[in-house]
């Protein structure tokens, strides 16, 4: 039977971009049906390898910043959550090959999907428990919420940009994240209907902690939030509310976030 060779070009980022070619010789009879399967397999292998490399880089960055954060390594539950959530499904179409870089990416509307290291660090700082009720401010594409959903009982997330809120809810529903609920609204007001929250995470920089969020935080609850002016120095900050309602805070690390709008 005559053989033909199918040349598949799959563009991957190695930094700088390189084009890697894969050649597969198939019988002419099955070539047409197999081409798509081969391409999908190569793409899947690429994502899997890139995903693993991303997690390795996140772990290395956690170790390198331990003197600031006090966290020397990620817990196994955080690593598992990072492994379970496919980041390439939460970036803009066309950016999938960049999804597993340890870097923030634009998701449109002036917003970003956070750097995986920051996602992992903020999640680790929350110290989530299986029974926790969590509030997220700044849904974005839904990636952080998907990570949180692996670790907490319920996740309520607020997004101020209507198009992002709708897209995130649709995507999260499609992917089966049934314990995540999205609201289009002003994050500074929180989501009183489902309060109190054991943990609150804010993914945009604010000059102060919105009072409504402190009100909706339960006793012995934690907030992780970047504090600082949009174009000035910002610091990831850990807020703790004890059983008497007293508030304490600890500065963790210098960061750069989009402004809380």
The model's confidence at residue 40, banded by pLDDT at 50, 70 and 90, is low
Same domain, 179 and 55: yes
Q: Answer whether 181's CB lies under 8 Å from 197's CB.
A: no
14 and 99 part of one domain: no
pLDDT (mean) for 236-253: 96
How far apart CA 208 and CA 234 sit, in angstroms, is: 11
| 80 and 40 assigned to the same domain | no
Residue 38 vs residue 25, higher pLDDT:
38
pLDDT at 35 exceeding the cut of 80: no
In a domain, 260, yes or no: no
How many domains in the chain?
Answer: 2
Q: Residue 36 sits in which domain range?
A: 3-45
CATH of the domain at 171: 3.40.50.150
Residue 17, classified by CB atoms within 10 Å of its CB into exposed (0-12), middle (13-18) or buried (19+), is: exposed
Residue among 63, 67, 114, 141 flagged as catalytic: 114
Q: Is 114 a catalytic residue?
A: yes
How does residue 10 score in pLDDT terms, banded at 50, 70 and 90?
A: very low
| Whether residue 40 is found in the same domain as residue 99 | no
Q: Quick one: pLDDT at residue 231?
A: 79
Residues 231 and 185 in one domain: yes
User: What mean pLDDT do residues 110-139 have?
Assistant: 97
Q: Which residue has the higher pLDDT, 21 or 168?
A: 168
For residue 101, the 8-state DSSP code is S
pLDDT of 19 above 70? no
**261, part of any domain:** no
Q: For residues 22 and 108, state if they share a domain.
A: no
209 and 180 in a common domain: yes
pLDDT-based confidence at 21, cuts 50/70/90? Answer: very low
> 261: pLDDT confidence band, cut at 50, 70 and 90?
confident
pLDDT higher than threshold 50 for residue 196: yes
Give the mean pLDDT of 232-252: 96
C-alpha–C-alpha distance, residues 123 and 254, integer Å: 16
- pTM, to two decimals: 0.84
């Amino acid at each position: 039977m005559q053989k033909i060779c199918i040349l598949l070009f799959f563009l991957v980022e190695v930094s700088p971009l390189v084009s890697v070619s894969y050649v597969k010789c198939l019988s002419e009879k099955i070539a047409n049906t197999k081409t798509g399967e081969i391409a999908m397999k190569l793409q899947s292998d690429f994502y899997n390898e890139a995903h693993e490399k991303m997690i390795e880089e996140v772990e290395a960055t956690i170790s390198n910043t331990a003197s600031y954060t006090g966290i020397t390594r990620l817990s196994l539950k955080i690593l598992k959550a990072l492994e379970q959530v496919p980041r390439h499904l939460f970036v803009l179409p066309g950016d999938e090959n960049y999804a597993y870089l340890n870097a923030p990416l634009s998701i449109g509307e002036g917003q970003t999907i956070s750097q995986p290291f920051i996602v992992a660090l903020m999640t680790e700082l929350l110290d989530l428990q299986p029974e926790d009720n969590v509030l997220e401010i700044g849904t974005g594409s839904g990636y952080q919420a998907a990570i949180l959903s692996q670790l907490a009982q319920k996740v309520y997330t607020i997004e101020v940009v209507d198009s992002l809120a709708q897209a995130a809810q649709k995507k999260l529903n499609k992917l089966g994240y049934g314990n995540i609920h999205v609201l289009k609204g002003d994050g500074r007001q929180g989501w009183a209907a489902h309060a109190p929250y054991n943990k609150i995470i804010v993914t945009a920089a604010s000059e102060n902690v919105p009072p409504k969020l402190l009100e909706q935080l339960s006793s012995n609850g934690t907030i992780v939030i970047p504090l600082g002016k949009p174009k000035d120095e910002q610091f990831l900050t850990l807020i703790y509310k004890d059983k008497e309602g007293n508030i304490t805070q600890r500065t963790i690390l210098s960061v750069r976030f989009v402004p809380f709008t």
